[in-house]
Amino acid sequence: MTENLPVHFIVTFFINRLKSSINKSKPWITLHPQPNNLVHDPQSLTLASSDYGNMVKEIPAAVLQPTSINDVVHLINYSYNNPIPFPVAARGQGHSVRGQAMAKNGVVIDMSYLRRNRKTPGITISRLRSTGEIYADVGGEQLWIDVLNAALAYGVTPVSWTDYLYITVGGTLSNGGISGQSFRYGPQVSNVVEMDVVTGKGNMVTCSAKKNYELFHAVLGGLGQFGIIARARIALEPAPNRVKWIRMLYTNFSAFVKDQERLISFNERKQSNALDYLEGLVLLHHGSPDTWRSSFFPPSDHPRIISLANQNSIIYCIEVAKYYDRHTQSTIDKDLEVLFDGLDYESGFKFEKDVTYVKFLNRVRSGELKLQSQGLWNVPHPWLNLFVPKSRILDFDAGVFRDIVLRRNITKGPILIYPMNYSKWDSRNSTVIPDEEVKMKTQRQWIDHFGSKWTNFRDMKMKFDPKYILSPGQRIFNV
């Protein structure tokens, strides 16, 4: 296996609804003196007691509504120096699924309030004189959609994204930040140059791969355990104008996987004919060709796509994108022709769109707005992300897609599957990709999840948050 071939595939399930009960324990924390922006009205507490997955309910004692990052520093510093430290968690858009943004009987920091009320710019674009490179300095509370728009005003853009852009920079960097660009550009945590972090001791620390590097790598993918990201410096590159957006349908899973691997093998940044984005979809015979995430297929082709799905019960879709601008407009079609030569998709089932760069990156938003207009968006949205070793991906298709999802008809939400490259991940970061030997089973212990990284993860916790103040909701250390 060469370095450029994927070691793992990402499999994502979106599930419609789960139920959970609310913990009714009473808050106990009292701050003296109590700042004006520390609130504990029922509406604020209710909002801060759940997240996007709605699988966990933890009621905080109060919610901090900061107007500057100094409010965050003071709160954590107060907790750290309190005889009985209280838990603190940062909440951006609440897009986590298992309680990362919750602090039972503690304080949840409403980072969205900081975004709306801060007195200094949350996003600045600058060029370093020493290297000529362009960066975005971004508050951790800022949304990626706003980072995109601010960067495009200067003709530049970040290169690694998540599928959904209305989530915070601090939120994705504390988890990883993956999407169809990750095979080429790496996850979002691999595209950060520098950060300002408020540690669990209440200290503001500037860190990078060369300065305070232990904190830098611990925070990236660290699930909020070591600090709250106050600022992140994001690398930028020249922005394209338009996107060739293409989907191809498969009835054979082996061919689907083989072609995904082949397409991402052209993954070096300097190769002009390499793709910029690749994901995969699983389409079931009882579902629509389109999902709430995007309406892609022409309505006139829906009947024959449904017929293909009915004949095979389950079909697979490779979704790719290649960016271009006025300089590459004349060669884009030829580049794609070379890339697609020899692919084994179903004849006559290749579909193409030509859209703006912004429309492609923000493609999920239209589906969200449609559901909002129908009153269907504000429901639980739990999902499951899995790293599946390449050696077991065919077993996963047989055992999960066909024997569980299809046969038991347990989900109608989108199912995504796409390949990753080890070489694009920084092993020094807290993010974890399991080794090939890890079996496909539920791993309840965080120590098993982090594997060989656990010792360092624990040591960094003791160094930067020794009183276990930050992000208790996932119970990594707060059992």
Give the residue numbers annotated as catalytic, written as ranges: 95, 163, 279
Matching residue, tokens 């697979």: 316
Q: How far is CA 200 from the centre of its chain?
A: 24
In angstroms, the CA 181 to CA 200 distance is: 32
Q: Strand order of the sheet with strand 314-324? A: 350-356, 242-250, 314-324, 277-284, 415-420, 8-14, 383-389
Please report, to the nearest 10 degrees, the dihedral formed by the alpha carbons of residues 134, 332, 246, 343 taken in order: -120
In angstroms, the Cα distances linking 378 to 17, 164, 363 are: 11, 16, 19
DSSP assignment string, 312-368:
HSEEEEEEEEEEE-TTTTTTHHHHHHHHHTT--PPTT-EEEEEEEHHHHHTHHHHHH
Query: Is the CB of residue 169 less than 8 Å from the CB of residue 147?
Result: yes
Query: Is the CB of residue 7 less than 8 Å from the CB of residue 420?
Result: yes
Residue 64: other Cβ atoms inside 10 A: 27
In angstroms, the CA 137 to CA 259 distance is: 38
Matching residue, tokens 């503001």: 204
**DSSP H or E segment with residue 178:** none
Residue 115: other Cβ atoms inside 10 A: 19
> Is beta strand 107-110 parallel, antiparallel or unpaired with respect to 62-64?
parallel
Give strand pairing partners of 317: 249, 281
In angstroms, the CA 130 to CA 452 distance is: 38
> Is beta strand 123-127 parallel, antiparallel or unpaired with respect to 134-139?
antiparallel
Phi and psi of 64, rounded to 5°? -90, 130
Q: Is the dihedral of CA 400, 405, 411, 416 positive or negative?
A: positive
22 Cβ partners below 8 Å, 6+ apart? 49, 57, 59
Helix residue ranges per DSSP H, 136-252: 144-152, 169-173, 182-185, 213-219
* Residue 12, helix vs strand vs coil: strand
Query: Is the CB of residue 277 less than 8 Å from the CB of residue 181?
Result: yes
